[in-house]
Amino acid sequence: MPKDSGIGASSKRREDVRFLTGQGQYTDDINIHGQTYVHFVRSDVAHGKINSIDTSAAEAMPGVVRIFTGADFEGIGGLPCGWQVTDRHGEAMKEPAHPVLAQGKVRHVGDPIAAVIAESLEQARDAGEALNIDIEELPAVVDMKAALSEGSATVHDDLGDNLCYDWGFVEENKGAVDEAIKNAAHVTTLELVNNRLVANPMEPRVAVGDYNRANDESTLYTTSQNPHVIRLLMGAFVLGIPEHKLRVVAPDVGGGFGTKIFHYAEEAFCTFAARQINRPVKWTASRSEAFISDAHGRDHVTKIELALDADNNFTAVRTETLANMGAYLSTFAPSVPTWLHGTLMAGNYKTPLIYVNVKAVFTNTVPVDAYRGAGRPEATYQLERVIDKAARELGVDPIALRRQNFITEFPYATPVAVEYDTGNYVATMDKLEEIADISGFEARRKASEANGKLRGLGVNCYIEACGIAPSNLVGQLGARAGLYDAATVRVNATGSISVMVGAHSHGQGHETAFPQVVAEMLGIDESMIEIVHGDSSKIPFGMGTYGSRSIAVCGSAMVRATEKIINKAKKIASHLLEASEADIELKDGQFTVAGTDKSCAWGDVTLAAYVPHNYPLDNIEPGLEETAFYDPSNFTYPSGAYACEVEVDPDTGKVTVERFSAADDFGNIINPMIVTGQVHGGLAQGIGQALMENCAYDENGQLLSASYMDYAMPRASDVPFYAVDHSCQTPCTHNPLGVKGCGEAGAIGSPPSVVNAVVDALQSAGHNVTHIDMPVSPSRVWAAMNS
């Protein structure tokens, strides 16, 4: 029997009422009396020296309030990077200055040069056109290999070259890995590109800065996944505003996918400028602006080698990756190709020796940072592609080759520093074979062939490290922030509850799923519980939502706080029931005395807490409100097996996804419907990356795919009905809910199976095609078939 409330129930998403009826309150819906509008004048060249900016004509334009340039930010902090990577030689990564408005040079198309504040947006744009900006164009650094070559132009002249870091992991294993590859019975090598993506949340970024001169308080309303992180970074490192004078609010946010984690120049600008002009300053990105100012994702070029012994056991993996950082280091950029990528290179397999080398490169392109999955999709893609290639080279079944090499005993310490607590890769693969009807594939292939189409089947596994993250561990790895989370459970006098959480919901459904947990623990109705998030003045200092961490980390804090509530409530109940505390039981919202028929209701206890007439004031404080901070002791390791079936039109090269099946192990599940929805969305993004999405620059650093005319987003008709199953559950062993997180799985796990399927389809027709880079567009497939 499916439950109809509490943990495990598919409760309907309560937030959808306001979203679907147009009553969400997004940042752009916030308008403050006296508000001004800022228009950022952005570089239209990828690399150039700013000779001069003459603002005089523009200042005289109607409605102009004030114009800022980089000169106004001298002496003010630049945008900080939140993670410091140490390279193979023990040196810290190179960390360039990242001014709020360009100083001296522009470094990518979209780099903000000046900010025009006016009474209306159109006036600001008019004045922006009247600015006289003299930029001397410099040769653009675009291709990563060229960027590292001798004599390349430099993005940051003071750094000497374009290499941010040269990271080796695990460096001590390098010799042994080289040796194992040399002595292997078989080595499969694959060179591939993990294509650059634009996140494209439905809501573009927005920032509204406000300043209250009376109490010297600044407020920033912003489209963020983590308001406290922004408050910390912007307050402490950029503008020098102490926390008690700075409030950051992230109201309803229309999708993030990672790109709204980071602290952006526009946020700092609006907060700064509001104080300078003593009026609110609003910025709303246009979609065109989003393409050239939101941090992009992925953009790795990798060579991977997989060594096998004569029995097809994996003996070693060696990779070399170039990772594009773009023109500046975005907030968490350095961590993505290193700790979020290298640590996952074991995948689901007991490969004993692994060595990962990553060179991070500066180029004259938009900064690159975390995007749904962040590092883990890059790891999964290369590993699952090279395994597939190995299976074909060896003439063995790709599923059997994977099964043979599965990790089967847990906990399992990988050779790349992480310890998987639980998992059952055999079970998810069994489930996949069932839901994907793998055994029926040959018949479906025949049917496709009868219609003149080539059909292919691609399978892959994935593992991810989620629930980010143990603070002490990430601190050792270079994180400049803690990664715990926090929750305050405030029980009101009549028994209703407000839970203030550090996680931020921007599509994940926290407002529905989090109450299910508290309701389950207390035995009261979900509707009595409300989640408060997104406002630094209302919630405890939590770290926000990314890395599939919300329920695993913040949810755990909420459980701990609720446990404290239960403890205290039992004390109050024992007083009211005149019984020993040890005998009090809480069930279905009733406190009872074990072995008696004495009871009192949840509401009796909560009322007593706030109207403490009959109350043990000598022993306990009145009120019923508890906060807990939770710092996980390990990552969580969701895993699964995915299968994709494609049809390829041999005349045009067009690929259609006919079937897609996902068997995931997310540990325990709070709301199965929401989890299914998260997987659906992730799959659409993964299929989008595999077949369609391509953020491309030309050799001058101009963005070729700068709008939806050229950047192909997947649409409903591009994806099939999915078969999604998450009944394989090995609960996480180290968090109280046994949950692992499900937000990124779909995007991490799906690209390799799509490409594996296309290669399978082409080989079925005798084409000697072993790889096609993503996006596997019709023209690329056609070119591969005809090469």
Partner 1 sequence: MYNFDFEKPSTIADAVSAMAAEEAQALGGGQTLIPTLKQRLASPSKLVSLSGIAEMKGVCEADGGISVGGATTHATVAAEAGAYPALAALASNIGDPAVRNRGTIGGSLANNDPAACYPSAALASGATIETNSREIAADDYFQGMFTTALEEGEIITNVRFPIPEAASYQKFEQPASRFAMVGVFVAKYVDGVRVAVTGASEDGVFRWTEAEEALSGNFSADAVEGLSVSGDGMISDLHGSGDYRAHLVKVLTKRAVAAAS
- From CA 576, how far away is CA 607, in angstroms rounded? 11
Question: What is the separation of C-alpha 545 from the centre of its chain, rounded to a whole number of angstroms?
Answer: 8
Give me the least distance between CB of 66 and partner 1, in Å please.
Answer: 22
- From CA 750, how far away is CA 657, in angstroms rounded? 12
| Residue 57 phi, psi dihedral angles, 5° rounding | -65, -40
Q: DSSP letters along 122-147, please?
A: HHHHHHHHH-EEEEEE-----SHHHH
Of 455-514, binders to partner 1 (CB under 8 A) are none
Nearer of residues 59 and 649 to partner 1, judged by Cβ = 649
Give me the least distance between CB of 721 and partner 1, in Å please.
Answer: 21
Amino acid identity for residue 401 in this structure = L
Nearer of residues 343 and 750 to partner 1, judged by Cβ = 750
Question: What is the separation of C-alpha 640 from the centre of its chain, rounded to a whole number of angstroms?
Answer: 18
Residue 193 binds partner 1, judged by CB under 8 A: no
- From CA 440, how far away is CA 444, in angstroms rounded? 7
| Residue 549 phi, psi dihedral angles, 5° rounding | -105, -10
Taking CA atoms, 546 is separated from 256, 265, 465, 473, in Å, by 9, 20, 12, 18
Give me the least distance between CB of 324 and partner 1, in Å please.
Answer: 18
**Contacts of 462 by beta carbon, 8 Å cutoff, 6+ apart:** 347, 348, 376, 380, 384, 639, 640, 641, 642, 745, 748, 749, 752
Residue 704 buriedness (CB in 10 A; 0-12 / 13-18 / 19+): exposed
Give me the least distance between CB of 714 and partner 1, in Å please.
Answer: 10
How does 203-214 read in b/e, with b if 16+ C-beta sit within 10 Å? Answer: bbbbbbbbbeee
Nearer of residues 340 and 772 to partner 1, judged by Cβ = 772
Nearer of residues 156 and 780 to partner 1, judged by Cβ = 780
Give me the least distance between CB of 22 and partner 1, in Å please.
Answer: 17
Of 343-362, binders to partner 1 (CB under 8 A) are none
Nearer of residues 301 and 655 to partner 1, judged by Cβ = 655
Q: Which of 711, 737, 748, 772 binds partner 1 (CB under 8 A)?
A: 711
Nearer of residues 221 and 697 to partner 1, judged by Cβ = 697
Nearer of residues 14 and 125 to partner 1, judged by Cβ = 125
Q: Omega before 411 cis (within 30°)?
A: yes
Give me the least distance between CB of 730 and partner 1, in Å please.
Answer: 39
Q: Which of 472, 567, 652, 727 binds partner 1 (CB under 8 A)?
A: 652
Per the CB < 8 A criterion, the answer to whether 662 and 679 are in contact is yes
Site track 17-46 with partner 1 (rule: CB under 8 A), x = hit: ------------------------------
Residue 93 buriedness (CB in 10 A; 0-12 / 13-18 / 19+): buried
Q: Which of 214, 450, 709, 716 binds partner 1 (CB under 8 A)?
A: 709
Residue 195 binds partner 1, judged by CB under 8 A: no
Taking CA atoms, 491 is separated from 130, 499, 530, 565, 708, in Å, by 57, 8, 10, 8, 47
Nearer of residues 37 and 165 to partner 1, judged by Cβ = 37
Q: Which stretch binds partner 1 (CB under 8 A): 206-214, 221-229, 401-409, 700-708?
A: 700-708
Q: Which stretch binds partner 1 (CB under 8 A): 180-188, 236-244, 490-498, 652-660?
A: 652-660
- From CA 604, how far away is CA 494, in angstroms rounded? 8
Q: Which stretch binds partner 1 (CB under 8 A): 50-58, 141-149, 585-593, 774-782?
A: 774-782
Q: Which of 189, 590, 705, 770 binds partner 1 (CB under 8 A)?
A: 705
The closest alpha carbon to 57, from 116, 130, 7, 6, belongs to 130
Q: Which two tokens stand for residue 198?
A: 């634009």
Give me the least distance between CB of 696 and partner 1, in Å please.
Answer: 6
Q: Which of 133, 340, 569, 692 binds partner 1 (CB under 8 A)?
A: 692
Compute how many other C-beta atoms are within 10 angstroms of the C-beta atom of residue 408.
Answer: 13
How does 471-508 read in b/e, with b if 16+ C-beta sit within 10 Å? Answer: eebbeebbbbbbbbbbbbbbbbeebbbebbbbbbbbbb
- Beta-bridged to residue 362, according to DSSP, are 326
- From CA 65, how far away is CA 53, in angstroms rounded? 17
Question: What is the separation of C-alpha 462 from the centre of its chain, rounded to a whole number of angstroms?
Answer: 16
Q: Which stretch binds partner 1 (CB under 8 A): 461-469, 677-685, 709-717, 759-767?
A: 709-717
The closest alpha carbon to 224, from 468, 30, 506, belongs to 506
Of 118-147, binders to partner 1 (CB under 8 A) are 122, 125, 129
Containing 420, the helix (H) or strand (E) segment is: strand 419-420
Residue 63 binds partner 1, judged by CB under 8 A: no
Nearer of residues 533 and 767 to partner 1, judged by Cβ = 767
Of 211-240, binders to partner 1 (CB under 8 A) are none
Residue 84 binds partner 1, judged by CB under 8 A: no
Give me the least distance between CB of 687 and partner 1, in Å please.
Answer: 13
Q: Which stretch binds partner 1 (CB under 8 A): 3-11, 673-681, 690-698, 759-767?
A: 690-698
Give me the least distance between CB of 184 and partner 1, in Å please.
Answer: 38
Per the CB < 8 A criterion, the answer to whether 5 and 11 are in contact is yes
Q: Which of 694, 735, 753, 756 binds partner 1 (CB under 8 A)?
A: 694
Instruction: Say which DSSP state 197 is in.
Output: B
Nearer of residues 125 and 444 to partner 1, judged by Cβ = 125
Give me the least distance between CB of 709 and partner 1, in Å please.
Answer: 4
Give me the least distance between CB of 86 and partner 1, in Å please.
Answer: 38
Size of the site for partner 1 (CB under 8 A): 24
Give me the least distance between CB of 697 and partner 1, in Å please.
Answer: 10
Q: Which stretch binds partner 1 (CB under 8 A): 51-59, 110-118, 599-607, 707-715?
A: 707-715
Give me the least distance between CB of 206 and partner 1, in Å please.
Answer: 18
Of 282-301, binders to partner 1 (CB under 8 A) are 288
Q: Which stretch binds partner 1 (CB under 8 A): 170-178, 240-248, 674-682, 692-700?
A: 692-700
Give me the least distance between CB of 127 and partner 1, in Å please.
Answer: 13
Q: Which of 159, 417, 712, 723 binds partner 1 (CB under 8 A)?
A: 712
- From CA 257, how far away is CA 747, in angstroms rounded? 10
- From CA 690, how far away is CA 682, in angstroms rounded? 12
Containing 181, the helix (H) or strand (E) segment is: helix 174-182
Residue 651 binds partner 1, judged by CB under 8 A: yes
- Beta-bridged to residue 322, according to DSSP, are 301, 359
Q: Omega before 775 cis (within 30°)?
A: yes
Q: Which two tokens stand for residue 323?
A: 């990772």
Q: Which of 477, 561, 777, 784 binds partner 1 (CB under 8 A)?
A: 777
Q: Which of 440, 588, 710, 727 binds partner 1 (CB under 8 A)?
A: 710
Q: Is 101 left (phi over 0), alpha (psi -120 to 50) or beta?
A: beta
Give me the least distance between CB of 684 and partner 1, in Å please.
Answer: 15
Which residues of the shown chain bind partner 1 in the complex (CB under 8 A)? 122, 125, 129, 288, 651-654, 692, 694, 696, 704-705, 708-713, 777-779, 782-783
